[in-house]
Amino acid sequence: MTENKNGIINARPCVALIALLFCFGVSAQTPETALIQHYPVQDWTQASAEEVNLDQSKIDHLFDLSFEDAATQGVAFFKNGLLVGERYAEGYDKDSHGTSWSMAKSFYAALVGISIDRGEIDSLDDPVANYLDYFNDERRDITIRHLLDMTSGLEMPSHEHENMFFSADHLAYAKSVGVEQKAGQVFEYNNVNSMLLADILLQATGEPADKLLAERIFNKIGLTDVVLWQDGAGNPLTYCCVDTTVRQYSRFGLLFARNGNWNGEQIISADYVDETFTKVWSDLSSSTIEQDRGYSLHWWISKHDEEAVIFNASGKFGQYVFVDRANDVVFTRITKYHSTGGTKQDWGILKYINWIGTVKFRLAVASFLDSTGIVKMEGNLKSPVTFEDGTSKEFFENYSDIIDALVDVSKP
C-alpha cells in the first residue's frame, strides 16, 4: 500500500476472483446480472450497452452532442457502476487530467455532511460564527446552509470575486468580504461562500480540507490519481481546482448515485445525500445556458420533474458530473486542459499584473505575454488554467438537448 504526494492511499491489490475481474476491466455481465450494483476497484469494469439493457445508439447520440463542442476533452457514461462507453478528443485518453473548476464545490461540501455525521459540526443551520470568530459581526446571521445554498448575502461585486483567484491568499480575501443583503433571501453564486468552507472545516476538525477530502472520501473510493490545488499561502482551494481524469471524477458521482455508500461502507449519510438532492432553488437563469436550473447544497439541478431527477456537479467552462440516482447512471464531461504542473498556485512574474485593472484586462495581458513567449503559461507559472480550446460554447447551447438525450438513454 503506497501513499502519493497528496496523502491519498492507493487501492490495495485485488485478492479475490471477482475483484480481479474488476481490476482488469473484464466484462462478465449478462442481461440477467446487469442490475447488480458494481463498484470500481483499481479500474472500472466495462460492459456493453446491451448487457445493461440500454440502446447503444442513444449513448452515441449523447456523445455526439457533447462533441459538437470542440472544447470537449472527454466523456464517459456509467450504468450500474459499469463503464458502458467513453470517448476522447484527439491527443487525449482515459489517463488525461482535466481540472474541475467549481465541481470541487460539490466535493468539499460532502465533507460538511461527514463532519455532521461525526459530530464535529452540529447542523447545517449552525451560524458560521460558531466556527469562525470573525463572523461575529454583521455576518453573524449567516449559517452554513446559507453558504452551501448560495444565499449568504455576502457582497457580490461586478467581477464576481474572480479577483480572489488571482490573489496570493484566497482565504484572507474571503475573510474580508462583508454583507450586502440579508441571508437566505437571494441566490447569488458566490465563490467566497465556498472558500470559507476551508476555514470552517479546519476549525471544526483540526485538519485542512484537502487532507480531509483525501482521507475521508477519495481514499475510500479509489480516487487516487488526483491533484488538490492550494493557494500560494497553502490554503486548500475549496471552491475550485481538483485535477483528475473523466473516470476518476465519475467515482464521486457514483458515490452520490449510491446514496453515499461505497461497497458497503456508508461514507456520507444517506440523509445528507437526500438533503443535497432536494430542490431548494429553481428557475435559475444563466448567461450561457438557456434552461431553468436549480441548486442545493453546492450541487446544480439540471432536471427535476416527473420524467427524471438529475443533479450535477458543475465547473466553469463546461465541466460536469451528472447523477441520475433513480437509474443508477453517471455521465461525466470535461473540457480540454493543459496542466501547468504543481499543486500550489504560483503566478510567477504575472503576480505583478494581478492587481492591475479588470480581470478581463489581466487575462488579455497574460495571453499577450504567452503569445510572445515572454511568459509561458505552461512552464512559467503554476495554476489551473483553461485556454480558449477548453472553453465551451456549443455544449452550453446544446445543454437542453444533452439533458434530454441523457434522460432518453434510460427510457425503454
pTM greater than the 0.95 cutoff: no
- Domain contains 18: no
Please tell me whether residues 333 and 248 are part of one structural domain.
yes
- Domain contains 159: yes
Please tell me whether residues 326 and 377 are part of one structural domain.
no
Q: Give which of 332, 297, 315, 320 is closest to 384, Cα–Cα.
A: 315
Q: If you ran DSSP here, which 8-state letter would residue 13 be given?
A: P
Other beta carbons less than 10 A from residue 355's beta carbon: 10
Average pLDDT over residues 207-225: 98
**Could you please report the per-residue DSSP string of 343-364?**
SB-B-GGGGGTTTSS-HHHHHH
Model confidence pLDDT, tens digit, residues 234-255: 999 999 999 999 999 999 999 9
Please tell me whether residues 320 and 375 are part of one structural domain.
no
Please tell me whether residues 262 and 364 are part of one structural domain.
no
Average pLDDT over residues 13-29: 36
Predicted local confidence at residue 28, as pLDDT:
41
Residue 329 in contact with residue 59, Cβ under 8 Å? no
Please tell me whether residues 372 and 276 are part of one structural domain.
no
For residues 137 and 214, give the distance between their C-alpha atoms in angstroms, rounded to a whole number: 33
Please tell me whether residues 373 and 394 are part of one structural domain.
no
pLDDT over threshold 60, residue 21: no
Average pLDDT over residues 223-243: 97
Question: Which runs of E-coded beta strand occur in 280-391?
Answer: 281-284, 293-296, 299-304, 309-315, 319-324, 329-335
Q: Give which of 259, 265, 261, 213 is closest to 100, Cα–Cα.
A: 213
pLDDT over threshold 50, residue 291: yes
Please tell me whether residues 376 and 397 are part of one structural domain.
no
| CB-count burial class (<10 Å; 0-12, 13-18, 19+) for 230 | buried
pLDDT over threshold 70, residue 358: no
Helix H segments across 118-160?
144-148
For residues 151 and 144, give the distance between their C-alpha atoms in angstroms, rounded to a whole number: 10
The whole-chain average pLDDT of the chain stands at 88
Model confidence pLDDT, tens digit, residues 177-209: 999 999 999 999 999 999 999 999 999 999 999
Predicted local confidence at residue 16, as pLDDT:
36
- Domain contains 70: no
Please tell me whether residues 309 and 377 are part of one structural domain.
no
Pick from 174-188, 358-372, 379-393 the range whose average pLDDT is largest.
174-188
Average pLDDT over residues 95-124: 98
Domain hosting residue 146, numbered range = 98-340+389-409
Confidence of residue 378 (pLDDT cuts 50, 70, 90): low
Model confidence pLDDT, tens digit, residues 30-46: 444 456 789 999 999 99
Q: Give which of 267, 381, 244, 376 is closest to 315, Cα–Cα.
A: 244
Predicted local confidence at residue 359, as pLDDT:
56
Please tell me whether residues 269 and 377 are part of one structural domain.
no
**3-state SS class at 60:** helix
Q: How many domains does the chain have?
A: 2
Q: Residue written as cell 470535461? A: 334
Please tell me whether residues 318 and 206 are part of one structural domain.
yes
Please tell me whether residues 364 and 215 are part of one structural domain.
no
Model confidence pLDDT, tens digit, residues 271-286: 999 999 998 877 666 6
Q: 162-172 in b/e burial notation, b at 16+ Cβ within 10 A?
A: bebbbbeebbe
- Domain contains 358: yes
Residue 299 has φ and ψ, to the nearest 5°, of -125, 145
Residue 375 in contact with residue 384, Cβ under 8 Å? no
- Domain contains 267: yes
- Domain contains 63: no
Residue 313 has φ and ψ, to the nearest 5°, of -80, 140
- Domain contains 158: yes
Residues in the chain: 412
- Which residue type sits at 373? G
Predicted local confidence at residue 347, as pLDDT:
84
Confidence of residue 295 (pLDDT cuts 50, 70, 90): very high
Confidence of residue 24 (pLDDT cuts 50, 70, 90): very low
Average pLDDT over residues 360-368: 67
Q: Nearest-5° angle of CA 163, CA 335, CA 47?
A: 140
- Which residue type sits at 150? M
For 231, the grid coordinates are 493557494
Q: Can you give the CATH number for the domain in which 149 is found? A: 3.40.710.10
Work out the percent of the chain whose per-residue pLDDT is above 70: 83
Q: Give which of 40, 53, 85 is closest to 67, Cα–Cα.
A: 85
Residue 240 in contact with residue 384, Cβ under 8 Å? yes
For 411, the grid coordinates are 427510457
Predicted local confidence at residue 379, as pLDDT:
65
For residue 343, how many C-alpha atoms fall within 13 Å in the half-sphere facing its CB? 13
pLDDT over threshold 70, residue 116: yes
Please tell me whether residues 306 and 377 are part of one structural domain.
no
- Which residue type sits at 298? H
For residues 8 and 333, give the distance between their C-alpha atoms in angstroms, rounded to a whole number: 24
- Domain contains 176: yes
Comparing 59 with 388, which gets the higher pLDDT? 59
Predicted local confidence at residue 368, as pLDDT:
72
